[in-house]
Every structure is written in C-alpha cells, then in structure tokens.
Amino acid sequence: MLLEKGGWKYDDKQNRWTKTNKKETTVLHFSIATSEAPELKAVTQELQATWAELGIPVDIQVFATGDLKETILRPRKFETLFFGQVLGRDGDPYPFWHSSQRLDPGLNIASYTNSKVDKILESARATTNQKERVKAYQAFKKEISNDTPAIFIYSPEFLYVVPEKIHGADLGYISVASERFLNIEKWYIKTDNIWKIFVK
C-alpha cells in the first residue's frame, strides 16, 4: 500500500494512520473546502464518511460561493478542494488545465503544469477539424490521467420535467441550465382544430 511505503502505520485500535519522524508523531488527516451548494455539501459528506472508514479523518470547510472564490480559489489556498467545472457545449478544457491559466484570474485551480498538455490543448484550439480535435482531447485525457492533478468523481445529469400540456419542448443535449429555453419559441400549449379544406 502507498501509505505503508511512505512510512505510515495503521493503528487498528484507534482507527488512524500515524507517521513518526524522530520523536514527533503525525496523524494523517486533511481538510476539504467546498461550496455551500447542497449537492456539493452532500457529496463532500459522503467522501468524509468514506475516508473515516479508512482511518483518515477529514474536516469539511463550507463557504458561501463568493467567499470560496475570494478566500480559497483566487489565492489557491486549500489542502483539497471539492468543486465543479462547467466546460460548456464546446467542451474546451484549455481554461482549466493550461499552465498559462494557473494563476488568478485563470481557472487552472490545481495550478497544473505540463508542457506536453499545453501543446495538446493549443493544437486542439487551433484546428477546426473535429476528428483532429477529438484525437487531441484523447491525448489530453491520457496525460492528465497519468499525472492525476485532480480526481474526477462524477458528471451530474439533470432531469427537467415538462408538463404534458406543453408541446414542442425538445430539449436534446443541454450543457448549462439556461439552454433548456433555447427553442422556447417552438413551445405551445393549445391547438385549434381546422377543417382539412382550409389547410393547404
């Protein structure tokens, strides 16, 4: 196990991991900063419970969205962070993983730096060929999986319930919530019966 290779020892009586350097003993624990958004808090609590079972206590730090941005994200001041990314319809990961974006106001919150990834993301942005772009993003995925600057936990799916009386609401693929209204001009509720002789 990686922890044991790193010099950590598990105490099954106290359910914790410790490491002794000279006369000082360190107990393994860390904190997770997250937003007050209900779904983020809920998943963070699940992570806390899972880590606790492994003998690693986790402190959860919940911030209002504005406070999280100013005190945690902008100065990159956190041990671990549970947060989300909205890539948009294009799905361009450049703002989140290119090294030029690692400092505020860039969105590379992990401060990730990899020159090979930089070149891949730049080439993906430069081409209009969809096949070449997909190939570049596959190479990006492989590189970032090897480095593990972040752990990608899940991609949420949202269900929008539309009343039966509303017709024409073909939502299709939605990348951000506001896109559910993109074809609202085609929605309708009432229809009139027209004799066939009046229909061309």
Q: What is the pLDDT of residues 94-127, one digit of tens each?
A: 999 999 999 999 999 999 999 999 999 999 999 9
Q: What is the pLDDT of residues 5-62, one digit of tens each?
A: 989 999 999 999 999 988 899 999 999 999 999 999 999 999 999 999 999 999 999 9
DSSP the chain: -HHHHTT-EEETTTTEEEEEETTEEEE--EEEEEES-HHHHHHHHHHHHHHHHTT--EEEEEE-HHHIIIIIITTT--SEEE-----TTTT--HHHH-GGGSSTTSS-TT----HHHHHHHHHHHH---HHHHHHHHHHHHHHHHHH-SS-------------TT-B-------SSGGGGGTTGGG-BS------GGG--
Q: What is the pTM of this model?
A: 0.80
Sorted by where each begins, the domain ranges of the chain are 1-84, 85-156, 158-187
According to CATH, the superfamily of the domain at 1-84 is: Dipeptide-binding Protein; Domain 3 (3.10.105.10)
Q: How high is the pLDDT of residue 193?
A: 74
